[in-house]
Chain A
Amino acid sequence: MSNTITIEPVSRIEGHAKITIHLDSKNSVKTARFHVNEFRGFEKFCEGRLMWEMPGITSRICGICPASHLIASAKAGDEILAIAIPETAENLRRILTLAQWIQSHALSFFHLSSPDFLLGFDSDPAKRNVFGLMEDHRDLVRRGIRLRKFGQEVIEILGGRRIHTPWAVAGGVREPLDTGNRDSMLGWIPEAKETTRIALTLFKEVLDKYQQDIVSFGSFRSLFVGLVSDKGDLEYYHGSLRVMDGLGNVIADKLDARRYFDYFAERAESWSFLKFPYYKKLGFQRGAYRVGPLARVNICDQISTPLAEAERVQFKEMTGEAGAQNNSFYYHYARLIELLFAVEEMERLLNDPVTLGRTTRSKALINRSEGVGAAEAPRGILFHHYTVDENGVLQKVNLLIATAQNNSAMNRTVTQIATQFIDDAKLTEGILNRIEAGIRCFDPCLSCSTHALGAMPLHVQLVSEEGIILDEVKR
């Protein structure tokens, strides 16, 4: 007889998920599945709306990275208008994107993942959360909260509110930035840099401490996909797509992100609402890829800001001759490098006189029937693809979300961790948490990736070969 373990709901992620672990007749792990069991149908209900409304509508897809959806949507709108936006508007959109990275990466590291690192994977689950961390690591938590607040405040200053801001529009942004608000943002920079560097130091200690645990945290070769600039720099707004294999070979470069549908396809599985995108050229099995911080830091040739570049060099040294860092636990490290980059890059942009320009919007009517907007969201590259009629009424909408692009990798990660730690057809709290922690490496956001309304808990089931549920944990 064989078994299945179910983990439901998965906790400390954004959205609702379930994990089933399927055992064979010898109680060895055969496979594990990360199920996303909500459906929202966001793409469908956007049809029939005006293209102009889309930034405001799609930013409401999620409360975690609404600014990324806003930017991708506004860029798709720019394509439909067939215009170049003012330089000032581009700088401001870039700052908003970086603020989104800061608030989301800080949330992921300090609020969601650091309890595992600092309190231990096997520590008391009642305390293994940000509130438990407050009791013993007050200064670090305070810093983490303030770092996230910095990102939120920049979003609020630019967009008028912290979430669901309708500030970016097709053709630019609604409002320019004034000197007072610019200075207020700049005032945060030294503290933000300091906090990020403290977190980096802490994380390197964690890497040493948990070397044995992290060997199985999603360590496998896959493709990596993301944007790079013309010079190969880490890029988050423009640039072109690069595809790297698990050995560090660039197998496709300078791909036009607006033609994403030529390179990527999606497969649906009956057991999850989250689709499985893959790189078409290599097919479904070999074409599985990862996006987000690990992919971005792997694929770029350099980072344009000095402190983050120094960290990237160290990251590469740890990767060694492997060519690419294939261990998903290093998502956390890459996320912190990106945090540092975001703070430095924001400082550069805020000091650029162009940022304070007063012209922030180009105006035009519908000039194209199709537009694709691509931007690097915190969790990876995000595509918004709209088809409109001559009045700008949406005929078709496709949203390709970062979390979905990591779906195959998340499933492989869960399988790997389950295989390493389950040996008696029993779930222990420590195993449960390691499985969740494996998922948290990717910082998945299920609300927008399934286009689903999210609460956020975890459910794990242990299922026999005959489909009988043998063990089950919910929280």
Chain B
Amino acid sequence: MNLPLLIGYGNTLRRDDGAGVWLVNEFSRCYPGRAHCLSVHQLGPELAEAVVRAPCVVFADASVAVSDLAVSRIEPSDSSSSHRSTHHTTPQDLLHSCLDLYGRIPSDCYVVRIPVRSLSWGETITDEVKAACRDAVEAIAELLDNLAFRGTKAKQDGREGGMDNVRRETERRDIVP
């Protein structure tokens, strides 16, 4: 079975904006071999291939829109091509590109948003955000365990689901309004 994919992204020169990258490194250290981990400056269509190969994808990013750690399930964006930009790609946009390019996406897609304290110049993240990242690492590990359990259970019950499954283009009507 392919490993789940964890993508942390952000600008590591702007302190807490690099929280997603820090989180991924921490996850690799705490749970080696548990997920395929990628850290990138920003999301781009080059990542689509890695995403569609994974049974599950988790994006980790710093966010000014949340005050507490937030884990949420996401769907592909419903935006038309005119609203997507080559300079700013959201996880939802990337999933949309996966459908366009490969006709499928992982069955489970999540984004972890980490609240930030400082976005000034600097290569270190704040202690508060480090603590939030450590919480996020545990939350992601638990999430992946649950998905793996659900997949095993579904298999035993003779159903599809969990981390062995992908959503295909034929299901796109359900995904994209």
Contacts and interface: CB of A to CB of B under 8 A. Distances in A.
Interchain residue pairs A-B with the least CB separation, the first 9: A126-B82, A131-B81, A134-B100, A132-B81, A149-B46, A131-B84, A145-B45, A127-B81, A142-B101
B93 to A, nearest CB: 8
Contacts of A163: 41
A455 interface: yes
A130 interface: yes
15 contacts: A126-B80, A126-B81, A126-B82, A127-B82, A129-B84, A131-B84, A132-B81, A134-B81, A134-B97, A135-B100, A142-B101, A145-B101, A148-B46, A149-B46, A162-B41
A122 to B, nearest CB: 16
A188 to B, nearest CB: 13
Nearest to A115: B81
A114 interface: no
Contacts of B100: 131, 134-135, 138, 141
Nearest to A134: B100
Interface in B95-127: 96-97, 100-102
A11 B86 CA distance: 11
B45 A130 contact: yes
- Interface size classification for chain B: 10 to 19
Interface in A1-23: 12
A134 B96 CA distance: 10
A130 B102 CA distance: 15
A125 interface: yes
A146 interface: yes
Contacts of A149: 46, 49
Contacts of A145: 45-46, 48-49, 101
Contacts of A141: 45, 100-101
Given A138-B100, A141-B100, A163-B41, 10 more contacts: A111-B86, A129-B82, A129-B86, A131-B84, A134-B81, A138-B101, A142-B102, A146-B46, A149-B46, A162-B41
A194 to B, nearest CB: 17
A152 interface: yes
Q: Do most interface residues of chain B lie in helix, strand or loop, or is the interface mixed? A: helix
A225 B40 CA distance: 36
A456 interface: yes
B73 interface: no
Interface string B21-49: 00000000000000000001100011011
A146 B81 contact: no
Contacts of B49: 145-146, 149
B173 interface: no
Contacts of B101: 134, 138, 141-142, 145
- The interface centre, meaning the residue of A111, A132, A145 with most chain B CB atoms within 10 A of its CB, is A145
Contact of A456 (B45, B87, B96): B87
Contacts of B82: 125-127, 129, 132
Contacts of A126: 80-82
Nearest to A133: B81
Nearest to B102: A142
B81 A152 contact: no
A134 B86 CA distance: 13
Nearest to A150: B46
Contacts of A152: 46
A12 B81 CA distance: 14
Contacts of A112: 86
Contact of A129 (B48, B81, B102): B81
Nearest to B48: A145
A132 B46 CA distance: 16
